[in-house]
Structure 1
Amino acid sequence: MTWYVVDALDKAFGRTKKCLFEPFDFWKWMKLVIIVMLIGGAGSNFNGGGNNYSSDGYNLPESGATDSFTDTFRGFIDQIPTDPGMGLIIGIIVLIFILILFFSYVSSVMEFVFVESLVSNDVRFWEYSRRYLRKGLGLFLFRILTGIFLLAVIAIMALPFVLPLIGASGENYADVIASNIISLIFLLIGIILVTAIIGGVISSFINLSIPVAIYTESGIFRAFSNVFRQFRKDWKQIVVYWFGRILLGLVVGIAVAIILLIVMVAVGLFILFVDMLLYLALSALLTGSDAIIWMILVPLILIQTILFILLLAFIALPASVFMKYHMLTFLQQWYTDVEIPVFDMQQINEELY
């Protein structure tokens, strides 16, 4: 039996080579780097914060605990409009939350832009961004629902440990936690493993659904349903695909990490040496003017940092492109009902016939 995850390796490598190096186009790389950074830099995973609620009397049936909680809550509410510091903190939190949602939406749009750019081998950042605003919104909403589902899974798994705490009084919290510390450790490990597996499976289906949504002109929800239906028909290929992608991701990740580490050390030491020489030169020319020296150095260091990050992103780009081409190539072989017009298909067909 042929495993598509293995067969896709050679073709994905060839497509990566043609896309990035035949010929090399700096501005094409630059646009792809920006797309990849927007995909990876957004907060697309919605994680629930760990809020700890405590009071002297936690057992709600006791009137003292209820009164204490009510007084504390009322005091907090009364403090909001009068305390400028509290208002500023709340404003910052709201702003951060809005930015997370915004960049999550941008990340969802860029997922479609990245696929379209690689399939066509023609990166049109603004044109593709406008084209996939609606599909990106659907993916954004789908990810929110996925995050809510994962939070529900975590909550259900945590119930066996949370329920004893609810029934315990404030004085017994430490005893309850101490008596269940081993269970808590295994619970945390179980939650991490289960959510990682479920999240990874859903993420895999979503990634496969994005090209399906593009080239069947359907929404992400319908595309996800179609991919899942195909999974039910041919689940063995997907299971092998998951294990193959994990292994391939480890190999590619280790290789890229080694290269990035070498570049970071070499370039970082060079930049540090240049900045030290510049600082010594400015100190000799501008004796006693430390403020002016740092006014010159700080913008320079900021520019160096931006260029350094872009350099690392450029080096890591081929890995991202290869992994995406590998997914697209696998999808072509696994889900033949969807025609993905990859840029080299005409040449391959001519060679076959």
Structure 2
Amino acid sequence: MTWYVVDALDKAFGRTKKCLFEPFDFWKWMKLVIIVMLIGGVGSNFNSGGNNYSSDGYNLPESGTTDSFTDVFTGFVDQIPTDPGMGLIIGIIVLIFVLILFFSYVSSVMEFVFVESLVSNDVRFWEYSRRYLRKGLGLFVFRILTGILLLAIIAIIALPFVLPLIGSSSENYVDVMASNIIPLIFLLISILLVTAIIGGIISSFINLSIPVAIYTESGIFRAFSNVFRQFRKDWKQIIGYWFGRIVLGIAVGIVVAIVLLIVIIAAGLFILLVDMLLYFALSAILPGSDTIIWMILAPIILIQVIIFIFLLAFITLPASVFMKYHMVTFLQQWYPDVEIPVFDMQQIDEELY
């Protein structure tokens, strides 16, 4: 039996080399780096940890007066903070939440832009971004729904352990916690393990669905359904794909980590040396003016940090491109009904025939 996850390695490596190095194009790299950074940006995960509702802080009416809606409403209104500082904090929290949602949507759009750029070997940032605004919105909504699903699974797992704590009084709450400490540890491990497995499986199906959505001109929901239907037909290859991608990800991660460590040490020492020389030079020119010296050095250090971040992103780019090409190449073999027009397909056909 031929394993597509293994067969895809050579072709993915060749496509990565042609895309990035034949020929080398700095601005092409720069656009791909920006796309990859936006994909991995803020807000890819949703956390409802702040949605903890409790009645302890409200002046709820005692039993026998539950029909007094006015008292309940008044007690609730009295608890709304009127401190301007608290309002500012709430405003900042809302702003952060909105930014998380915005960058999550941008990340979803960039997923399509990245695939289209690599398949065509032609990076058109703004054109592809406009083209996939709607599909990106569908992916954004789909990810929210899958996040809610994961939270529901976590709640189902945790419910048998949390109910005794909720039912306990404040006096014996510590005793209940102490007696359940070992089950709670196992609960946490179970939640992390189940969430990681289910989240990884869903993420794998979503990544495979993105090219399907592009080249079958369908939405992400329909594409996900088609991928899952294909999985039911040929599930062995997907199981092999999951294990193969884990091994491949570890191998690529080790190589990238080694290269990054070398670059970080070398570039970090060089930047530190340059900043020290600048500091001593400015100290000699402006003796006793530390404030002015740091006003000069601060923007220089900021520019160095930005350049350093882009340098690291440039180094990790080939790994991201290779992993995406490997996924696309696997998908071509595993789901032949979807015609993915990779830029080198004509050349491959000519070599075969």
Fold conserved between structures, TM > 0.5: yes
Deviation at 1:288, TM superposition (A): 1.5
- Percentage identity across aligned positions? 88
The answer to whether residue 29 in structure 2 is matched with residue 29 in structure 1 is yes
Taking the aligned partners of 2:285 and 2:55, their CA distance within structure 1 comes to 62
Taking the aligned partners of 1:57 and 1:81, their CA distance within structure 2 comes to 12
Q: 1:257 to 1:77 in 2, by over 3 A?
A: farther
Aligned to 1:122: 122
SS in 1 for 2:172: helix
Taking the aligned partners of 1:303 and 1:166, their CA distance within structure 2 comes to 52
Deviation at 1:252, TM superposition (A): 0.2
Deviation at 1:184, TM superposition (A): 0.3
TM-score when normalising by structure 2: 0.94
Aligned to 1:335: 335
Show structure 2 runs of 5+ residues with no match. Answer: none
Aligned to 1:326: 326
Determine if contact 2:117/2:123 at 8 Å carries over to the other structure: yes
Q: 1:178 to 1:55 in 2, by over 3 A?
A: farther
Deviations 1:211-256 (A, max 9, x none): 0000000000000000000000000000000000000000001110
Determine if contact 1:230/1:335 at 8 Å carries over to the other structure: yes
Aligned to 2:220: 220
Determine if contact 1:80/1:87 at 8 Å carries over to the other structure: no
Letter in 2 for 1:161: F
Deviation at 1:79, TM superposition (A): 6.0
Show structure 1 runs of 5+ residues with no match. Answer: none
Deviations 1:241-297 (A, max 9, x none): 000000000000111011101101110011011101100110111011111111100
Letter in 2 for 1:251: A
Deviation at 1:116, TM superposition (A): 0.1
Deviation at 1:74, TM superposition (A): 7.1
Letter in 1 for 2:166: I
Taking the aligned partners of 1:7 and 1:156, their CA distance within structure 2 comes to 40
Q: 1:174 to 1:106 in 2, by over 3 A?
A: same
Aligned to 1:186: 186
Deviation at 1:186, TM superposition (A): 0.4
Determine if contact 2:4/2:237 at 8 Å carries over to the other structure: yes
Determine if contact 2:42/2:100 at 8 Å carries over to the other structure: yes
Give the CA RMSD over aligned residues: 2.3
Taking the aligned partners of 2:52 and 2:118, their CA distance within structure 1 comes to 46
Aligned to 2:17: 17
Letter in 2 for 1:305: V
Determine if contact 1:36/1:114 at 8 Å carries over to the other structure: yes
Deviation at 1:42, TM superposition (A): 2.7
Taking the aligned partners of 2:228 and 2:6, their CA distance within structure 1 comes to 21
Deviations 1:45-96 (A, max 9, x none): 11221666789899x9986xx9xxxx99977854645201100000000000
Letter in 2 for 1:3: W
Taking the aligned partners of 1:178 and 1:73, their CA distance within structure 2 comes to 38
Letter in 2 for 1:325: Y
Letter in 2 for 1:256: V
Aligned to 2:204: 204
Taking the aligned partners of 1:137 and 1:186, their CA distance within structure 2 comes to 37
Deviations 1:139-158 (A, max 9, x none): 00000000000000011101
TM-score when normalising by structure 1: 0.94
Deviations 1:119-139 (A, max 9, x none): 000000000000000000000
Equivalent pairs counted in the alignment come to 348
Aligned to 1:168: 168
Taking the aligned partners of 1:44 and 1:212, their CA distance within structure 2 comes to 21
Taking the aligned partners of 1:37 and 1:176, their CA distance within structure 2 comes to 46
Q: 1:38 to 1:174 in 2, by over 3 A?
A: same
SS in 2 for 1:87: helix
SS in 2 for 1:148: helix
Letter in 2 for 1:176: V
Determine if contact 1:42/1:106 at 8 Å carries over to the other structure: no
Aligned to 1:275: 275
Letter in 2 for 1:231: F
Aligned to 1:304: 304
Determine if contact 1:210/1:223 at 8 Å carries over to the other structure: yes
Letter in 2 for 1:97: F
Q: 1:288 to 1:99 in 2, by over 3 A?
A: same
Taking the aligned partners of 1:186 and 1:249, their CA distance within structure 2 comes to 28
Aligned to 2:5: 5
Determine if contact 1:57/1:169 at 8 Å carries over to the other structure: no
Aligned to 2:249: 249
Determine if contact 1:55/1:170 at 8 Å carries over to the other structure: no
Determine if contact 1:43/1:100 at 8 Å carries over to the other structure: yes
Deviation at 1:44, TM superposition (A): 1.3
Q: 1:178 to 1:249 in 2, by over 3 A?
A: same
SS in 1 for 2:250: helix
Letter in 2 for 1:203: S
Question: Moved runs in structure 1, 4+ residues, more than 3 A?
Answer: 50-58, 60-63, 71-81
